[in-house]
Amino acid sequence: MIYLLLSILSSSLIYVVFKLLDKFNIRVPYAIVVNYLTAVVAGYLGHSKSFNVETITSASWFWGALVLGVLFITVFNLMALTTKINGLSAVSVASKMSLSIPIVFVIFYYNESASALKIIAIVLALIAVYLASVKDKKGISLQKGSIIFPVLVFFGSGIIETGIKFLEQNYVAKDDVALFSMTLFVFASIIGIVVSLYLLLVKKIKFTYKELLGGIALGIPNYYSVYFFIQALRGDLDSATVFLINNVAIVMLSTLLGIVLFKEKILRKNWIGIALAVVSLILVALTTQ
């Protein structure tokens, strides 16, 4: 349970850092690259065994890590594009409601229990995520032809969490979690560096110390959000419960942090969403007894 709590806290801190990046006008593309490089360093320092390039390339999870690493930065850019075209609410709902994908996967692929109480909790959680994420009174407004972007964010985010579950259960050894997590960020970093060089050399967009500091601040919780999440999946709770609690609690905590730290205005439906999230978590707790 402690790893699940740490995963929730780490992921919520990512939200706080993103808000600070915007507040201090820090160029996000550069900060993202520094964030991935910071995550690589964190993974290197966190791995207790000695290793080399051959250790990584010969690992059974190597190609899976490569695909997930590419998906990491691809989905992030899709989220940025979706935010620009469809708004922040659309990307928040799409990314968080994607929890339905790994939940369905583990229930059917790993034959995890799906009691009536758990199904009710899952449905309430999805409703809660939607209500808590939509910050516009009119709800989500999608332009004709632009629905493809939130759909891609939905499936991309869901595939990432599903892929992490599949690889950690079938291929990643207990003492290789840090190395596996680090490798995900290595591949994301490679793509990010290429993009950054284009922005720096072709677009002439400056890189300053603010991007460096912002990226480091983002990279530390980003790495541990993945590391602790994988460890949480290996705990006593079934995976569907972990996915549900992790995503719902992140939405709740992020919303509350927005109120406390950034004085964000919360609509009535956001409070209803938080209330439903609490109910869904209580129901989940009852299913684990």
The pLDDT tens digits for 154-168 are: 999 999 999 999 999
Quick count: other Cβ atoms within 10 Å of Cβ 218?
26
Alpha-carbon Rg for the chain in angstroms? 19
- The angle that helices 209-233 and 177-201 make with each other, rounded to 10 degrees, is 150
Band of pLDDT at residue 263, cut at 50, 70 and 90: confident
- What pLDDT digit, counting tens, does each position of 81-131 carry? 887 787 777 788 888 899 999 999 999 999 998 889 999 999 999 999 989
pLDDT of residue 190: 95
- What's 184's DSSP letter? H
Residue 35 in this model has a pLDDT that exceeds 90: yes
Considering the entire predicted model, what is its pTM?
Answer: 0.91
Residue 220 in this model has a pLDDT that exceeds 80: yes
pLDDT of residue 143: 65
- The mean predicted confidence, pLDDT, of the chain is 90
What gap in Å lies between CA 182 and CA 39, rounded to an integer? 7
- What pLDDT digit, counting tens, does each position of 226-260 carry? 999 999 999 989 999 999 999 999 989 988 998 89
pLDDT of residue 142: 64
Q: Rounded to the nearest 5 degrees, what angle is found at the Cα of 246, between the Cα atoms of 244 and 247?
A: 70
The percentage of the chain sitting over the pLDDT mark of 90, rounded to a whole number, equals 65
Band of pLDDT at residue 42, cut at 50, 70 and 90: very high
pLDDT of residue 209: 94
- What's 207's DSSP letter? -
* Domain range annotation of the chain: 2-287
Band of pLDDT at residue 139, cut at 50, 70 and 90: low
**Residues 194, 73: contact at Cβ < 8 Å?**
no
Q: Which of 23, 25, 97, 31 is nearest to 261 (CA)?
A: 23
Residue 215's alpha-carbon distances to 26, 64, 66, 73, in angstroms, are 9, 25, 22, 14
Beta-carbon contacts of 245 under 8 Å, excluding residues fewer than 6 positions away, are 4, 8, 237, 281, 284
pLDDT of residue 154: 94
